[in-house]
Amino acid sequence: MTQQFYVSPEQLMKDRADFARKGIARGRSVVVISCGEGIALVAENPSPSLHKIGEIYDKIAFAAVGKYNEFESLRQAGVRYADVRGYSYDREDVTARGLASVYAQSLGAVFTTEQKPFEVELAVAEVGASQEGDHLYRLTFDGSIADEHRFVVMGGQADKVSAAIEDGWRTSLTLAEAVRLAMGGLVRPAAGAAEPAGAAAPLPAGALEVAVLDRHSEATRGARRAFRRLNDADIAALLT
Amino acid sequence: MQESTANKVAAYATSSFTEHLQRERPELLPFTRALPTGAAVTAPLQVPHATTIVAMGYAGGVLMAGDRRATMGNVIASRHIEKVFPADRFSVLGIAGTAGIAIDLTRLFQVELEHYEKIEGTLLSLEGKANRLGAMIRGNLPLAMQGLAVVPLFAGFDTGANAGRLFSYDVTGGRYEEHEHHTVGSGSVFARGALKKLWRPNLTAAEALAVAVEALYDAADDDSATGGPDTVRQLWPVVYTVDSTGTRRVPDEELGAAARAVIEARTIAGREA
Protein backbone atom coordinates (compact mmCIF):
# COMPACT_ATOMS: atom_id res chain seq x y z
CA MET A 1 0.00 0.00 0.00
CA THR A 2 1.29 3.42 -0.89
CA GLN A 3 1.64 5.93 1.88
CA GLN A 4 0.17 9.37 1.17
CA PHE A 5 2.41 12.28 2.02
CA TYR A 6 1.01 14.93 4.28
CA VAL A 7 0.39 18.20 2.46
CA SER A 8 -0.81 21.14 4.53
CA PRO A 9 -4.10 22.70 3.41
CA GLU A 10 -2.33 26.02 2.91
CA GLN A 11 0.15 24.44 0.54
CA LEU A 12 -2.58 22.55 -1.29
CA MET A 13 -4.63 25.71 -1.90
CA LYS A 14 -1.55 27.68 -2.85
CA ASP A 15 -0.52 25.05 -5.41
CA ARG A 16 -3.98 25.02 -6.93
CA ALA A 17 -4.14 28.80 -7.06
CA ASP A 18 -0.69 29.02 -8.69
CA PHE A 19 -1.73 26.45 -11.26
CA ALA A 20 -4.87 28.38 -12.15
CA ARG A 21 -3.06 31.73 -12.25
CA LYS A 22 -0.45 30.38 -14.61
CA GLY A 23 -3.13 29.15 -17.01
CA ILE A 24 -4.96 32.47 -16.97
CA ALA A 25 -1.79 34.54 -17.40
CA ARG A 26 -1.08 32.82 -20.72
CA GLY A 27 -4.33 34.12 -22.23
CA ARG A 28 -5.06 37.35 -24.02
CA SER A 29 -6.81 40.12 -22.12
CA VAL A 30 -10.45 41.16 -22.01
CA VAL A 31 -11.71 44.61 -21.03
CA VAL A 32 -15.22 45.41 -19.83
CA ILE A 33 -15.78 49.13 -19.57
CA SER A 34 -18.77 51.22 -18.57
CA CYS A 35 -19.49 54.28 -20.71
CA GLY A 36 -22.25 56.76 -21.44
CA GLU A 37 -24.03 54.67 -24.07
CA GLY A 38 -23.78 51.41 -22.15
CA ILE A 39 -21.12 48.84 -21.38
CA ALA A 40 -18.47 47.95 -23.94
CA LEU A 41 -16.85 44.52 -23.88
CA VAL A 42 -13.59 44.29 -25.79
CA ALA A 43 -11.47 41.18 -26.18
CA GLU A 44 -8.36 40.38 -28.11
CA ASN A 45 -9.55 37.34 -30.02
CA PRO A 46 -8.46 36.40 -33.53
CA SER A 47 -11.23 33.79 -33.91
CA PRO A 48 -14.48 35.11 -35.37
CA SER A 49 -16.53 32.18 -34.06
CA LEU A 50 -15.04 31.06 -30.73
CA HIS A 51 -16.31 33.88 -28.60
CA LYS A 52 -14.99 35.13 -25.28
CA ILE A 53 -17.91 37.48 -24.90
CA GLY A 54 -21.50 36.33 -24.81
CA GLU A 55 -25.06 37.35 -24.16
CA ILE A 56 -26.67 35.94 -21.03
CA TYR A 57 -29.95 37.81 -20.77
CA ASP A 58 -31.74 41.04 -21.66
CA LYS A 59 -29.33 43.38 -19.85
CA ILE A 60 -26.59 40.94 -18.87
CA ALA A 61 -23.42 39.95 -20.69
CA PHE A 62 -20.54 37.64 -19.93
CA ALA A 63 -16.84 37.90 -20.69
CA ALA A 64 -14.12 35.42 -19.88
CA VAL A 65 -10.45 34.59 -20.20
CA GLY A 66 -8.72 31.27 -19.79
CA LYS A 67 -9.52 27.82 -21.11
CA TYR A 68 -12.24 27.87 -23.75
CA ASN A 69 -13.97 24.61 -22.79
CA GLU A 70 -14.20 25.67 -19.17
CA PHE A 71 -15.61 29.16 -19.63
CA GLU A 72 -17.88 28.00 -22.46
CA SER A 73 -19.51 25.45 -20.15
CA LEU A 74 -19.91 28.21 -17.54
CA ARG A 75 -21.43 30.53 -20.15
CA GLN A 76 -23.96 27.91 -21.21
CA ALA A 77 -24.79 27.17 -17.58
CA GLY A 78 -25.34 30.90 -17.08
CA VAL A 79 -27.69 31.14 -20.07
CA ARG A 80 -29.66 28.16 -18.75
CA TYR A 81 -29.82 29.59 -15.24
CA ALA A 82 -31.02 32.97 -16.55
CA ASP A 83 -33.58 31.52 -18.96
CA VAL A 84 -35.07 29.16 -16.36
CA ARG A 85 -35.26 31.97 -13.85
CA GLY A 86 -36.81 34.41 -16.32
CA TYR A 87 -39.28 31.78 -17.50
CA SER A 88 -40.41 30.71 -14.04
CA TYR A 89 -40.54 34.21 -12.48
CA ASP A 90 -40.32 37.18 -14.79
CA ARG A 91 -37.73 38.66 -17.11
CA GLU A 92 -37.14 41.50 -14.64
CA ASP A 93 -36.13 39.06 -11.93
CA VAL A 94 -32.95 37.96 -13.65
CA THR A 95 -30.09 40.01 -12.20
CA ALA A 96 -26.34 40.03 -12.61
CA ARG A 97 -25.98 39.74 -8.84
CA GLY A 98 -27.90 36.46 -8.77
CA LEU A 99 -25.96 35.08 -11.69
CA ALA A 100 -22.59 36.18 -10.30
CA SER A 101 -23.35 34.53 -7.00
CA VAL A 102 -24.20 31.24 -8.73
CA TYR A 103 -20.94 31.49 -10.70
CA ALA A 104 -19.02 32.19 -7.49
CA GLN A 105 -20.48 29.11 -5.84
CA SER A 106 -19.74 26.87 -8.84
CA LEU A 107 -16.18 28.14 -9.18
CA GLY A 108 -15.64 27.77 -5.44
CA ALA A 109 -16.95 24.21 -5.46
CA VAL A 110 -14.75 23.25 -8.42
CA PHE A 111 -11.72 24.87 -6.79
CA THR A 112 -12.02 22.88 -3.57
CA THR A 113 -13.43 19.53 -4.69
CA GLU A 114 -12.34 18.80 -8.28
CA GLN A 115 -9.06 17.33 -9.49
CA LYS A 116 -8.02 20.66 -10.91
CA PRO A 117 -9.43 24.18 -10.57
CA PHE A 118 -10.96 26.00 -13.54
CA GLU A 119 -8.34 28.14 -15.26
CA VAL A 120 -10.75 30.96 -15.96
CA GLU A 121 -11.63 34.44 -14.88
CA LEU A 122 -15.10 35.82 -15.57
CA ALA A 123 -16.83 39.15 -15.70
CA VAL A 124 -20.60 39.53 -15.46
CA ALA A 125 -21.92 42.92 -16.57
CA GLU A 126 -25.40 44.33 -16.26
CA VAL A 127 -26.33 47.59 -17.90
CA GLY A 128 -28.61 49.93 -15.94
CA ALA A 129 -30.83 52.86 -16.89
CA SER A 130 -28.02 55.22 -15.89
CA GLN A 131 -24.31 54.74 -15.39
CA GLU A 132 -24.80 54.51 -11.61
CA GLY A 133 -27.08 51.54 -12.24
CA ASP A 134 -24.40 49.52 -14.04
CA HIS A 135 -23.10 46.43 -12.29
CA LEU A 136 -19.76 44.83 -13.03
CA TYR A 137 -18.75 41.67 -11.20
CA ARG A 138 -15.41 39.99 -11.48
CA LEU A 139 -15.08 36.33 -10.59
CA THR A 140 -11.83 34.49 -10.14
CA PHE A 141 -10.98 30.79 -10.35
CA ASP A 142 -11.38 30.19 -6.60
CA GLY A 143 -14.88 31.63 -6.45
CA SER A 144 -13.90 35.07 -5.16
CA ILE A 145 -16.28 37.73 -6.30
CA ALA A 146 -15.60 41.44 -6.56
CA ASP A 147 -18.05 44.23 -7.28
CA GLU A 148 -16.17 46.56 -9.61
CA HIS A 149 -16.91 50.07 -10.81
CA ARG A 150 -16.02 51.77 -14.07
CA PHE A 151 -14.17 48.84 -15.68
CA VAL A 152 -12.82 45.30 -15.33
CA VAL A 153 -9.63 44.00 -16.92
CA MET A 154 -8.81 40.30 -16.93
CA GLY A 155 -6.24 37.99 -18.44
CA GLY A 156 -2.56 37.98 -19.28
CA GLN A 157 -1.27 41.45 -18.55
CA ALA A 158 -4.24 42.65 -16.55
CA ASP A 159 -2.20 44.98 -14.34
CA LYS A 160 -0.59 46.88 -17.22
CA VAL A 161 -3.80 47.08 -19.24
CA SER A 162 -5.66 48.17 -16.16
CA ALA A 163 -3.16 50.97 -15.48
CA ALA A 164 -3.52 52.24 -19.05
CA ILE A 165 -7.31 52.31 -18.83
CA GLU A 166 -7.29 53.87 -15.37
CA ASP A 167 -5.44 56.86 -16.89
CA GLY A 168 -7.96 57.44 -19.64
CA TRP A 169 -11.26 56.65 -17.95
CA ARG A 170 -13.84 59.40 -17.56
CA THR A 171 -17.56 59.31 -16.71
CA SER A 172 -18.56 60.90 -19.99
CA LEU A 173 -16.85 58.42 -22.33
CA THR A 174 -18.78 57.68 -25.51
CA LEU A 175 -18.91 54.15 -26.87
CA ALA A 176 -16.29 54.89 -29.53
CA GLU A 177 -13.97 56.45 -26.96
CA ALA A 178 -14.45 53.52 -24.60
CA VAL A 179 -13.60 50.99 -27.32
CA ARG A 180 -10.59 53.05 -28.38
CA LEU A 181 -9.42 53.30 -24.78
CA ALA A 182 -9.80 49.55 -24.31
CA MET A 183 -7.87 48.88 -27.51
CA GLY A 184 -5.15 51.29 -26.48
CA GLY A 185 -4.82 49.40 -23.23
CA LEU A 186 -4.76 46.03 -24.95
CA VAL A 187 -2.06 47.04 -27.41
CA ARG A 188 0.32 48.87 -25.08
CA PRO A 189 1.72 46.06 -22.96
CA ALA A 190 2.08 43.71 -25.92
CA ALA A 191 4.20 46.27 -27.75
CA GLY A 192 6.14 47.17 -24.64
CA ALA A 193 7.10 43.57 -24.12
CA ALA A 194 8.23 42.90 -27.66
CA GLU A 195 9.82 46.14 -28.76
CA PRO A 196 10.59 49.65 -27.50
CA ALA A 197 7.61 51.80 -26.61
CA GLY A 198 6.22 54.08 -29.29
CA ALA A 199 6.09 51.41 -31.97
CA ALA A 200 2.72 50.10 -30.81
CA ALA A 201 0.63 49.27 -33.84
CA PRO A 202 -3.11 49.30 -33.20
CA LEU A 203 -4.82 45.93 -33.34
CA PRO A 204 -6.65 45.32 -36.60
CA ALA A 205 -10.46 45.00 -36.36
CA GLY A 206 -10.15 41.32 -37.24
CA ALA A 207 -8.15 40.57 -34.11
CA LEU A 208 -10.79 42.08 -31.85
CA GLU A 209 -14.05 40.86 -30.51
CA VAL A 210 -16.29 43.73 -29.49
CA ALA A 211 -19.80 43.69 -28.11
CA VAL A 212 -21.89 46.29 -26.36
CA LEU A 213 -24.79 46.32 -23.92
CA ASP A 214 -26.82 49.30 -25.15
CA ARG A 215 -28.17 51.39 -22.31
CA HIS A 216 -31.22 52.51 -24.27
CA SER A 217 -31.81 49.53 -26.56
CA GLU A 218 -35.60 49.91 -26.29
CA ALA A 219 -35.47 53.48 -27.59
CA THR A 220 -32.76 53.07 -30.22
CA ARG A 221 -33.43 49.59 -31.57
CA GLY A 222 -36.85 48.71 -30.18
CA ALA A 223 -35.28 45.63 -28.60
CA ARG A 224 -35.49 44.45 -25.01
CA ARG A 225 -32.23 42.60 -25.49
CA ALA A 226 -29.45 45.11 -24.98
CA PHE A 227 -26.60 42.89 -26.19
CA ARG A 228 -25.20 43.68 -29.62
CA ARG A 229 -22.15 42.09 -31.23
CA LEU A 230 -20.17 44.38 -33.51
CA ASN A 231 -18.75 42.95 -36.73
CA ASP A 232 -15.49 44.06 -38.32
CA ALA A 233 -17.19 46.78 -40.38
CA ASP A 234 -18.99 48.13 -37.28
CA ILE A 235 -15.72 48.22 -35.37
CA ALA A 236 -13.91 49.98 -38.20
CA ALA A 237 -16.76 52.50 -38.48
CA LEU A 238 -16.65 53.10 -34.74
CA LEU A 239 -12.91 53.75 -34.77
CA THR A 240 -12.77 56.20 -37.67
CA MET B 1 -22.26 -0.55 -18.78
CA GLN B 2 -20.58 2.47 -17.34
CA GLU B 3 -21.09 5.63 -19.31
CA SER B 4 -17.95 7.51 -20.21
CA THR B 5 -17.59 11.15 -19.24
CA ALA B 6 -17.46 12.19 -22.88
CA ASN B 7 -20.75 10.43 -23.57
CA LYS B 8 -22.35 12.11 -20.61
CA VAL B 9 -21.14 15.54 -21.68
CA ALA B 10 -22.40 14.96 -25.22
CA ALA B 11 -25.76 13.76 -23.97
CA TYR B 12 -26.17 16.86 -21.85
CA ALA B 13 -25.12 19.26 -24.58
CA THR B 14 -28.51 20.52 -25.67
CA SER B 15 -29.42 23.83 -27.23
CA SER B 16 -33.08 23.30 -26.49
CA PHE B 17 -34.61 25.04 -23.51
CA THR B 18 -37.55 22.62 -23.48
CA GLU B 19 -35.21 19.63 -23.26
CA HIS B 20 -33.35 21.32 -20.44
CA LEU B 21 -36.60 21.91 -18.53
CA GLN B 22 -37.73 18.34 -19.16
CA ARG B 23 -34.53 17.13 -17.56
CA GLU B 24 -34.13 19.58 -14.71
CA ARG B 25 -37.46 21.26 -13.96
CA PRO B 26 -40.28 19.25 -15.60
CA GLU B 27 -42.87 20.89 -13.34
CA LEU B 28 -42.32 24.18 -15.18
CA LEU B 29 -43.49 22.84 -18.54
CA PRO B 30 -47.04 23.83 -19.47
CA PHE B 31 -47.94 20.34 -20.66
CA THR B 32 -46.61 17.82 -18.13
CA ARG B 33 -49.61 17.73 -15.83
CA ALA B 34 -52.11 15.02 -16.69
CA LEU B 35 -55.68 15.63 -15.65
CA PRO B 36 -57.56 12.85 -13.87
CA THR B 37 -58.82 10.64 -16.68
CA GLY B 38 -62.47 10.85 -17.60
CA ALA B 39 -63.01 14.24 -15.96
CA ALA B 40 -63.27 16.15 -19.21
CA VAL B 41 -65.51 13.63 -20.92
CA THR B 42 -68.43 14.20 -18.57
CA ALA B 43 -68.04 17.92 -17.96
CA PRO B 44 -65.81 20.03 -20.20
CA LEU B 45 -63.66 22.39 -18.15
CA GLN B 46 -64.83 25.98 -18.13
CA VAL B 47 -61.67 27.85 -19.11
CA PRO B 48 -61.09 30.85 -21.34
CA HIS B 49 -60.77 30.04 -25.03
CA ALA B 50 -58.97 32.22 -27.50
CA THR B 51 -60.37 32.38 -30.98
CA THR B 52 -59.83 33.60 -34.50
CA ILE B 53 -56.42 34.19 -36.06
CA VAL B 54 -55.84 35.07 -39.71
CA ALA B 55 -52.52 35.13 -41.55
CA MET B 56 -51.59 35.90 -45.12
CA GLY B 57 -48.64 36.54 -47.34
CA TYR B 58 -48.10 39.89 -49.03
CA ALA B 59 -45.39 41.29 -51.29
CA GLY B 60 -42.19 40.88 -49.24
CA GLY B 61 -43.57 39.38 -46.06
CA VAL B 62 -46.35 37.84 -44.01
CA LEU B 63 -48.99 39.38 -41.79
CA MET B 64 -50.85 37.85 -38.85
CA ALA B 65 -53.87 39.28 -37.07
CA GLY B 66 -55.98 38.13 -34.14
CA ASP B 67 -59.16 39.47 -32.56
CA ARG B 68 -59.25 40.49 -28.89
CA ARG B 69 -61.90 38.22 -27.40
CA ALA B 70 -61.59 35.21 -25.09
CA THR B 71 -64.74 33.30 -24.23
CA MET B 72 -65.67 30.89 -21.45
CA GLY B 73 -68.81 29.10 -22.53
CA ASN B 74 -71.33 31.85 -23.26
CA VAL B 75 -69.42 34.44 -21.22
CA ILE B 76 -66.85 36.86 -22.61
CA ALA B 77 -63.81 36.12 -20.45
CA SER B 78 -61.68 38.95 -21.81
CA ARG B 79 -62.01 41.78 -24.31
CA HIS B 80 -58.34 42.65 -24.17
CA ILE B 81 -56.57 39.33 -24.67
CA GLU B 82 -53.70 39.32 -27.16
CA LYS B 83 -53.31 36.16 -29.22
CA VAL B 84 -50.61 37.09 -31.70
CA PHE B 85 -47.05 37.29 -30.38
CA PRO B 86 -43.63 37.88 -31.85
CA ALA B 87 -41.71 34.59 -31.46
CA ASP B 88 -38.36 36.16 -32.30
CA ARG B 89 -36.94 38.74 -34.69
CA PHE B 90 -38.22 37.02 -37.83
CA SER B 91 -41.31 35.08 -36.80
CA VAL B 92 -44.68 35.48 -35.13
CA LEU B 93 -47.22 33.03 -33.83
CA GLY B 94 -50.91 33.22 -33.15
CA ILE B 95 -52.78 30.86 -30.88
CA ALA B 96 -56.31 29.52 -30.76
CA GLY B 97 -57.66 27.18 -28.11
CA THR B 98 -57.24 27.01 -24.34
CA ALA B 99 -55.84 30.43 -23.51
CA GLY B 100 -53.96 29.56 -20.32
CA ILE B 101 -51.96 26.74 -21.86
CA ALA B 102 -51.54 28.56 -25.16
CA ILE B 103 -50.02 31.65 -23.55
CA ASP B 104 -47.60 29.55 -21.51
CA LEU B 105 -46.71 27.58 -24.61
CA THR B 106 -46.01 30.83 -26.43
CA ARG B 107 -43.73 32.00 -23.63
CA LEU B 108 -41.91 28.67 -23.71
CA PHE B 109 -41.53 28.89 -27.48
CA GLN B 110 -40.15 32.43 -27.27
CA VAL B 111 -37.56 31.37 -24.67
CA GLU B 112 -36.78 28.25 -26.72
CA LEU B 113 -35.83 30.34 -29.76
CA GLU B 114 -33.87 32.90 -27.76
CA HIS B 115 -32.11 30.16 -25.80
CA TYR B 116 -30.99 28.43 -28.99
CA GLU B 117 -29.74 31.72 -30.37
CA LYS B 118 -27.70 32.46 -27.26
CA ILE B 119 -26.22 28.98 -26.89
CA GLU B 120 -25.42 28.46 -30.58
CA GLY B 121 -24.71 32.06 -31.53
CA THR B 122 -26.95 31.80 -34.58
CA LEU B 123 -30.68 31.92 -35.35
CA LEU B 124 -32.61 28.70 -35.81
CA SER B 125 -33.79 28.16 -39.40
CA LEU B 126 -37.47 28.87 -40.08
CA GLU B 127 -38.11 25.15 -40.71
CA GLY B 128 -36.36 24.36 -37.44
CA LYS B 129 -38.55 26.82 -35.56
CA ALA B 130 -41.70 25.38 -37.17
CA ASN B 131 -40.65 21.84 -36.19
CA ARG B 132 -39.92 22.81 -32.59
CA LEU B 133 -43.39 24.33 -32.31
CA GLY B 134 -44.88 21.13 -33.71
CA ALA B 135 -43.06 19.08 -31.06
CA MET B 136 -44.43 21.33 -28.31
CA ILE B 137 -47.99 20.96 -29.60
CA ARG B 138 -47.52 17.20 -29.67
CA GLY B 139 -46.34 17.40 -26.05
CA ASN B 140 -49.72 18.89 -25.21
CA LEU B 141 -51.62 15.98 -26.82
CA PRO B 142 -52.68 14.29 -23.53
CA LEU B 143 -54.33 17.54 -22.42
CA ALA B 144 -55.79 18.11 -25.89
CA MET B 145 -57.48 14.70 -25.66
CA GLN B 146 -59.24 16.01 -22.57
CA GLY B 147 -60.50 19.11 -24.27
CA LEU B 148 -57.64 21.52 -23.55
CA ALA B 149 -56.32 21.80 -27.08
CA VAL B 150 -54.04 24.51 -28.40
CA VAL B 151 -53.80 25.16 -32.13
CA PRO B 152 -51.19 27.67 -33.25
CA LEU B 153 -50.52 29.38 -36.53
CA PHE B 154 -46.90 30.19 -37.25
CA ALA B 155 -45.54 32.70 -39.74
CA GLY B 156 -42.05 33.86 -40.40
CA PHE B 157 -39.65 35.36 -42.85
CA ASP B 158 -37.27 32.82 -44.36
CA THR B 159 -34.06 34.81 -44.65
CA GLY B 160 -32.52 32.08 -46.84
CA ALA B 161 -35.35 31.95 -49.39
CA ASN B 162 -36.08 35.67 -48.89
CA ALA B 163 -39.82 35.06 -48.59
CA GLY B 164 -42.53 34.95 -45.96
CA ARG B 165 -43.89 31.50 -45.07
CA LEU B 166 -46.90 30.19 -43.16
CA PHE B 167 -47.34 27.00 -41.13
CA SER B 168 -50.49 25.52 -39.63
CA TYR B 169 -50.73 22.71 -37.06
CA ASP B 170 -53.19 20.16 -35.83
CA VAL B 171 -53.53 19.05 -32.19
CA THR B 172 -51.20 16.08 -32.75
CA GLY B 173 -48.38 18.43 -33.71
CA GLY B 174 -48.72 17.79 -37.43
CA ARG B 175 -47.15 20.65 -39.33
CA TYR B 176 -48.43 21.82 -42.70
CA GLU B 177 -47.05 24.59 -44.83
CA GLU B 178 -49.81 26.89 -46.07
CA HIS B 179 -49.74 29.05 -49.15
CA GLU B 180 -51.33 32.46 -49.67
CA HIS B 181 -53.39 32.62 -46.45
CA HIS B 182 -54.77 30.59 -43.58
CA THR B 183 -57.04 30.95 -40.55
CA VAL B 184 -57.51 29.08 -37.26
CA GLY B 185 -59.99 29.29 -34.40
CA SER B 186 -63.77 29.24 -34.02
CA GLY B 187 -64.41 32.04 -36.53
CA SER B 188 -61.89 30.64 -39.02
CA VAL B 189 -64.45 29.38 -41.56
CA PHE B 190 -66.00 32.83 -41.92
CA ALA B 191 -62.62 34.57 -42.01
CA ARG B 192 -61.40 32.10 -44.60
CA GLY B 193 -64.44 32.77 -46.78
CA ALA B 194 -63.71 36.48 -46.62
CA LEU B 195 -60.02 35.96 -47.39
CA LYS B 196 -60.88 33.92 -50.48
CA LYS B 197 -62.62 36.95 -51.94
CA LEU B 198 -60.41 39.72 -50.56
CA TRP B 199 -56.89 38.30 -50.85
CA ARG B 200 -54.91 38.54 -54.06
CA PRO B 201 -51.22 38.03 -54.83
CA ASN B 202 -48.75 40.85 -54.26
CA LEU B 203 -50.79 42.92 -51.85
CA THR B 204 -48.92 45.78 -50.24
CA ALA B 205 -48.55 45.71 -46.45
CA ALA B 206 -51.26 48.38 -46.07
CA GLU B 207 -53.68 46.49 -48.32
CA ALA B 208 -52.97 43.24 -46.44
CA LEU B 209 -53.76 45.04 -43.16
CA ALA B 210 -57.14 46.19 -44.56
CA VAL B 211 -57.88 42.64 -45.77
CA ALA B 212 -57.01 41.14 -42.37
CA VAL B 213 -59.18 43.62 -40.47
CA GLU B 214 -62.10 42.99 -42.83
CA ALA B 215 -61.73 39.19 -42.59
CA LEU B 216 -61.81 39.43 -38.78
CA TYR B 217 -64.84 41.72 -39.04
CA ASP B 218 -66.64 39.05 -41.07
CA ALA B 219 -65.63 36.36 -38.56
CA ALA B 220 -66.96 38.48 -35.67
CA ASP B 221 -70.17 39.06 -37.62
CA ASP B 222 -71.08 35.37 -37.64
CA ASP B 223 -69.09 33.85 -34.76
CA SER B 224 -70.08 34.89 -31.25
CA ALA B 225 -66.67 33.90 -29.87
CA THR B 226 -64.82 36.37 -32.09
CA GLY B 227 -64.74 40.04 -31.13
CA GLY B 228 -65.12 42.76 -33.73
CA PRO B 229 -63.40 46.15 -33.61
CA ASP B 230 -64.64 48.02 -30.53
CA THR B 231 -64.97 51.74 -31.29
CA VAL B 232 -66.28 52.50 -27.78
CA ARG B 233 -63.29 51.03 -25.95
CA GLN B 234 -60.89 51.74 -28.83
CA LEU B 235 -59.95 48.08 -29.08
CA TRP B 236 -58.53 46.90 -32.39
CA PRO B 237 -57.15 43.54 -33.50
CA VAL B 238 -53.50 42.77 -32.76
CA VAL B 239 -51.57 42.70 -36.03
CA TYR B 240 -47.92 41.86 -36.67
CA THR B 241 -46.07 41.96 -39.96
CA VAL B 242 -42.80 40.15 -40.68
CA ASP B 243 -40.52 41.11 -43.52
CA SER B 244 -36.79 41.22 -44.24
CA THR B 245 -36.31 43.91 -41.58
CA GLY B 246 -38.00 41.82 -38.87
CA THR B 247 -41.27 41.78 -36.99
CA ARG B 248 -43.31 44.93 -36.50
CA ARG B 249 -46.42 45.46 -34.44
CA VAL B 250 -48.86 47.59 -36.39
CA PRO B 251 -49.60 50.66 -34.22
CA ASP B 252 -53.11 51.37 -32.93
CA GLU B 253 -53.60 54.48 -35.11
CA GLU B 254 -53.21 52.46 -38.32
CA LEU B 255 -55.50 49.73 -36.97
CA GLY B 256 -58.13 52.23 -35.85
CA ALA B 257 -58.13 53.82 -39.29
CA ALA B 258 -58.41 50.43 -41.03
CA ALA B 259 -61.23 49.29 -38.73
CA ARG B 260 -63.15 52.54 -39.13
CA ALA B 261 -62.82 52.29 -42.92
CA VAL B 262 -64.39 48.80 -42.85
CA ILE B 263 -67.22 49.91 -40.56
CA GLU B 264 -67.88 52.99 -42.68
CA ALA B 265 -67.97 51.03 -45.94
CA ARG B 266 -70.39 48.51 -44.41
CA THR B 267 -72.58 51.29 -43.01
CA ILE B 268 -72.82 52.98 -46.41
CA ALA B 269 -73.58 49.66 -48.13
CA GLY B 270 -76.30 49.08 -45.52
CA ARG B 271 -76.60 45.40 -46.36
CA GLU B 272 -78.26 42.88 -44.07
CA ALA B 273 -76.00 39.82 -44.50
Query: Within a domain: residue B9?
Result: no
What is the model's pLDDT at position A191? 44
Asked whether residue B230 is domain-assigned, the answer is yes
Residue A97: pLDDT band (50, 70, 90) is very high
**Mode of pairing for the β-strands spanning A145-148 and A135-139:** antiparallel
Tell if the CB–CB gap between A79 and B119 is shorter than 8 Å. Answer: yes
pTM: predicted TM-score of the whole model, two decimal places: 0.89
Query: Does B43 score more than 80 pLDDT?
Result: no
Q: Is B27 on the interface with A (CB under 8 A)?
A: no
Structural domain total, chain B: 1
Does some domain include residue B190? yes
* pLDDT tens track for B141-191: 888 888 888 899 999 999 888 899 999 999 898 999 999 999 998 889 999
Q: Which residues of A touch B28 (CB under 8 A)?
A: 84, 87-88
Q: Residue B19 has what pLDDT?
A: 87
Distance CA A41, CA A151 (A): 10
Give this complex's ipTM.
Answer: 0.87
Domain of residue B243, CATH code: 3.60.20.10
Query: Among A41-50, A198-207, B97-106, B115-124, which is the least confidently predicted range?
Result: A198-207
For residue B40, being part of any structural domain is answered with no
Residue B28 contacts A where some CB pair is shorter than 8 Å:
yes
Mean pLDDT of A61-84: 92
C-beta of residue A3 within 8 angstroms of C-beta of residue A15: no
What's residue A193's pLDDT?
Answer: 47
**Using one digit for the tens of pLDDT, what is the confidence trace for B181-216?**
999 988 899 999 999 999 999 999 999 999 999 999
| Cross-chain residue pair B118–A88, CB shorter than 8 Å | no
Q: Tell me if B220 sits within 8 A of B70, measured CB to CB.
A: no
| Minimal-distance CA residue of chain A relative to B120 | A76
Inter-chain touch A79–B118, beta carbons under 8 Å: yes
Domain encompassing residue B183? 47-272
What pLDDT shows up at residue B259?
Answer: 92
* Alpha helix ranges (H) inside chain B: 5-12, 17-24, 39-42, 99-120, 126-139, 141-145, 188-198, 205-222, 252-269
CA distance B9 to chain A (A): 10
**Do the beta carbons of residue A131 and residue A36 sit within 8 Å?**
yes
Whether the per-residue pLDDT at B258 is higher than 90: the answer is yes
Question: Which residues of chain A are within 8 Å of residue B121 when distances are taken between CB atoms?
Answer: 49, 51, 54
- Chain A from 103 to 142: CB within 8 A of any B CB: none
> Active-site positions of B?
51
* Confidence band of A194 (pLDDT split at 50, 70, 90): very low
Q: How confident is the model at residue A201 (pLDDT cuts 50, 70, 90)?
A: low
* Segments of A141-207 assigned E as strands: 145-148, 151-154
| A159-192 pLDDT tens trace | 888 888 888 888 878 888 888 888 887 775 444 4
**B25/A contact by beta carbon, under 8 A:** yes
The 10s digit of each residue's pLDDT in B4-31 is 777 777 777 788 898 888 888 888 888 7
Whether A79 sits inside 8 A of B24 (CB atoms) is no
Asked whether residue B257 is domain-assigned, the answer is: yes
Residue B38, in any domain of the structure: no
Question: Would residue B13 count as lying in a domain?
Answer: no
Q: Which of B5, B9, B112, B118 to mutate to test the interface with A (most CBs of A within 10 A)?
A: B118
B149 falls within a domain: yes
